[in-house]
Amino acid sequence: MIIVGSGPAGAATALALVGADPGIAGRIVVLEKARHPRPKVCAGGLIPHALATLDTLGVGLVVPHVMVDRARVDVPGARVEVEGSRFCAVVRRDELDASLVAAVRARGVEVREDEKVTALARVTGGIEITTTRDTYTTPILVGADGSGSLVRRRLVDGPERGHGEVPRAIMADLRLGAGASSWDGHARARYDFDFRAVVRGLAGYAWAFPCLIDGAPHVNAGVYAWRRTGVDLVALLRELQGELGGAPVEHRAAPIRCFGAAAFTAPHVLLVGDAAGVEPLMGEGISFALEYGLWAAAEIAAALRRRDYAFAAAEERFRRGWVGRKLRRLEQAATMFYGPGARLWLGIAARWKGAQEVGLRWYNGVDGWDRRSGWEALRTAVRWSLGRRGAV
Ligand SMILES: Cc1cc2nc3c(=O)[nH]c(=O)nc-3n(C[C@H](O)[C@H](O)[C@H](O)COP(=O)(O)OP(=O)(O)OC[C@H]3O[C@@H](n4cnc5c(N)ncnc54)[C@H](O)[C@@H]3O)c2cc1C
């Protein structure tokens, strides 16, 4: 089988397949257009669920990172500060992805770098893949080729179910220290989220994350827009850079495909990660990329047993499972927090401590919280607000 793309989604698919059946390694080829460590436009925030899934995949987190224990959230008219532990580990994506690919190779899977997929066609019994170096035919193709997925465009998209939202995020890395940014979040192990621009029409937020670049402390600052509303993201990022201090730095931008109604399977084809669609509220994609990998591996193992590569019910199983439910809830949350009632919902979220505690645990996937239903989470938030923690 062939996996196109070796970001977290492609690597997780390969790791999960080999984790379940080490003998399958020789039957997997990963095609990657770049060479690791390759640059990737991403803030590199790993929520606790992503860290737990890296453990499940048997790789853990082996690259330099900054552990975040505090959050500061600004909404129109209010600021919330939350303290806890291990809210997020911030990595550099070139380092994380290279470490995952090294683990994939160490398990015996062939990863062919500098080999770009340029054409895809359906043939009898599978898919024909043309690359810059070769031509392959396979009964199982995993499209892990990111938000601009060629696999999606050539083999999965159809007019009947749309193409899904493709939000944009832009970011810049600012050096900290004398003559540079004096942001205090790095020293305080804190990350900042700023939703104040929703009143100016932004369907999204700005962030500041502590990170390490070649061992030196930096702040990664960015702006995420779930929908294009005409707001100038570059101007917003410049404002944020102004607040953080230091010399202005060039920004980099990339799209993030969101989970929605668009299909992510087709006969002989599974899409994973950004190619399939990740979470719309914050644009957090790494934990979902890893979860898609686990799902794809389970579907492929079942397909190999049955010798049936139609993947007819695979998407339905994903959507009905807890990951699909979590993605749907996050889509609903995006319509609340970035829609016409944004000010109201953000105001409630900023003032309701019980909802903050439950919401953070649910979002971060701590101790399986994200497997709970929305009603259960709401009931728990109400109980906690009334001081009845024992009742949970
Ligand atoms: C500015 C920004 C900030 C973000 N911050 C965060 C964050 O803090 N936390 C978080 O969880 N998520 C974040 N995300 C989202 C996250 O980066 C993605 O969801 C994640 O990278 C998806 O992983 P993936 O493996 O699906 O795709 P990718 O990481 O994009 O990997 C796709 C791979 O496929 C390869 N490829 C593409 N086309 C071809 C081809 N034709 N042939 C061969 N290879 C190909 C690419 O080279 C690449 O290596 C952010 C995104 C942006 C844009």
pLDDT in tens, 280-338: 999 999 999 999 999 999 999 999 999 999 999 999 999 999 999 999 999 999 999 99
Residue of 145, 171, 278 with the most ligand 1 atoms within 8 Å of its CB, for mutation: 145
Going by DSSP bridges, is the β-strand pair 203-213/190-194 parallel, antiparallel, or unpaired?
antiparallel
Asked whether 33 lines ligand 1 (CB < 6 A), one says yes
C-alpha 376: how far from chain center: 25
Residue 81 covered by a domain: no
Determine the pLDDT at residue 357: 83
Closest Cα to atom 18 of ligand 1? 285
Determine the pLDDT at residue 162: 61
pLDDT band for position 391 (50/70/90)? very low
Residue 338 covered by a domain: no
Asked whether 11 lines ligand 1 (CB < 6 A), one says no
C-alpha 306: how far from chain center: 31
Closest Cα to atom 41 of ligand 1? 117
> Rounded distance, CA 256 to CA 40, Å?
12
pLDDT band for position 389 (50/70/90)? low
Asked whether 231 lines ligand 1 (CB < 6 A), one says no
262 has pLDDT over 80? yes
Residues 133 and 101 in one domain: yes
Q: Which atom of ligand 1 is nearest to the CA of 169?
A: 1
Domain boundary among 233, 255, 277: 255
Asked whether 286 lines ligand 1 (CB < 6 A), one says yes
Asked whether 145 lines ligand 1 (CB < 6 A), one says yes
d(CA 277, ligand 1 centre) in Å: 11
H/E/C letters for each residue in 287-325? HHHHHHHHHHHHHHHHHHHHCCCCCCCHHHHHHHCHHHH
Asked whether 94 lines ligand 1 (CB < 6 A), one says no
198 has pLDDT over 90? yes
Of 228 and 213, the one with more pLDDT: 213
Q: Which residues pair with 173 in a beta bridge?
A: 220
Residue of 219, 286, 364 with the most ligand 1 atoms within 8 Å of its CB, for mutation: 286
Asked whether 31 lines ligand 1 (CB < 6 A), one says yes
Closest Cα to atom 33 of ligand 1? 5
Asked whether 291 lines ligand 1 (CB < 6 A), one says no
Residues 157 and 40 in one domain: yes
Residues 153 and 173 in one domain: no
* C-beta atoms surrounding 69 within 10 Å: 15
Q: Which domain does 6 fall in, by range?
A: 2-65+90-165+257-328
Contacts of 177 (CB under 8 A, 6+ apart): 216, 217
> Rounded distance, CA 352 to CA 357, Å?
9
Domain boundary among 230, 255, 280: 255
Residues 366 and 318 in one domain: no
163 has pLDDT over 80? no
d(CA 304, ligand 1 centre) in Å: 28
d(CA 97, ligand 1 centre) in Å: 10
Split into its structural domains, the chain has a count of 3
Residues 250 and 194 in one domain: yes
Helix and strand numbers (H, E) in the chain are 11, 17
Residue 29 covered by a domain: yes
366, 70, 363, 299 alpha-carbon torsion, rounded to 10°? -60
Residues 239 and 324 in one domain: no
pLDDT band for position 392 (50/70/90)? very low
Residues 125 and 61 in one domain: yes
Asked whether 166 lines ligand 1 (CB < 6 A), one says no
Asked whether 254 lines ligand 1 (CB < 6 A), one says yes
Residue 76 covered by a domain: no
By the 10 Å C-beta count (0-12 exposed, 13-18 middle, 19+ buried), 302 is classed as middle
Residues 290 and 160 in one domain: yes
d(CA 7, ligand 1 centre) in Å: 6
pTM of the model: 0.95
Residue of 274, 323, 326 with the most ligand 1 atoms within 8 Å of its CB, for mutation: 274
Q: Which residues pair with 136 in a beta bridge?
A: 129
